[in-house]
A and B are shown apart, each in its own frame.
Chain A
């Protein structure tokens, strides 16, 4: 069965510093990996995805994520954090043999001015 873990409930980063939000996954086939962001009382917004190809994926708002097959990880990164990046971030995975996406429990990112 597929699963995804976000080991940190909350991450605090000073504005202007690089940020990383961690995600690890488990699938039996090939993984399709996603990152979403959620602002208060809103739906989820798509940031980026990895299906195949280059391990470094670039997405919206300057975010990127690196697929690491040996470590089964897909960490979200940004070189310089903005206060407006403060939100709830979800990692999600779909097994190539399945038609459902499994979401992590979310990581709350606080960017401190």
Chain B
């Protein structure tokens, strides 16, 4: 997990509230990624960013938003439009091209 931090580790939210998950990296990586992990479904890509001020939708972007104002930071907002937000969220970073992605420790979001 070294070099990538995610906060908070656990997050509880009431229905109808937006919530922002933090992801910071000090690895000088250009690319950053957000994944959602549900039991038995592996990892699904939400959004990714290859460069500052630019990002692309992944496979399950609906109900989520991101920003990439700094190279080190890639926050994810889970909006009230996300129908089933309870999940484990993982942030990753990597150099461009085919190189390895390195993961943060994750944030477990529970909607009450």
B-binding residues in A (CB < 8 A): 9, 32, 34, 36, 41-46, 49, 51, 90, 94, 96, 99-101, 103-106
Closest chain B CB from A46 CB (angstroms): 5
Whether B104 contacts A103 by the Cβ 8 Å rule is no
Whether A94 contacts B98 by the Cβ 8 Å rule is yes
A-side contacts of B103, CB under 8 Å: 36, 43-45
A-side contacts of B101, CB under 8 Å: 46, 101
Q: Do A106 and B90 form a contact, CB below 8 Å, given A32-B98, A41-B106, A44-B103?
A: no
Whether B100 contacts A46 by the Cβ 8 Å rule is yes
Complex alpha-carbon distance, A90 and B35, angstroms: 14
Q: Do A100 and B108 form a contact, CB below 8 Å, given A46-B100, A90-B43?
A: no
> Interface centre among B50, B100, B106, by most A CB within 10 Å?
B100
> Interface centre among A34, A36, A41, A44, by most B CB within 10 Å?
A44
Whether B98 contacts A104 by the Cβ 8 Å rule is no
B41 within 8 A of partner (CB)? yes
Q: Across the interface, name the chain B residue whose C-beta is closest to A103.
A: B43
Whether B40 contacts A105 by the Cβ 8 Å rule is yes
B74 within 8 A of partner (CB)? no
Whether A99 contacts B108 by the Cβ 8 Å rule is no
> Interface centre among A41, A94, A100, A101, by most B CB within 10 Å?
A101
Closest chain A CB from B11 CB (angstroms): 13
Whether A106 contacts B98 by the Cβ 8 Å rule is no
Complex alpha-carbon distance, A75 and B103, angstroms: 22
Q: Do A34 and B58 form a contact, CB below 8 Å, given A42-B106, A100-B45, A105-B40?
A: no
Whether B42 contacts A103 by the Cβ 8 Å rule is yes
Other-chain residue from A45, A90, A96, A103 in contact with B98 (beta carbon distance below 8 A): A96
Q: Do A46 and B102 form a contact, CB below 8 Å, given A41-B108, A90-B42, A103-B43?
A: yes
The 8 closest A-B pairs by CB, nearest first: A43-B103, A105-B42, A32-B98, A103-B43, A44-B103, A43-B105, A103-B42, A43-B1
Complex alpha-carbon distance, A43 and B107, angstroms: 9
Whether A42 contacts B1 by the Cβ 8 Å rule is yes
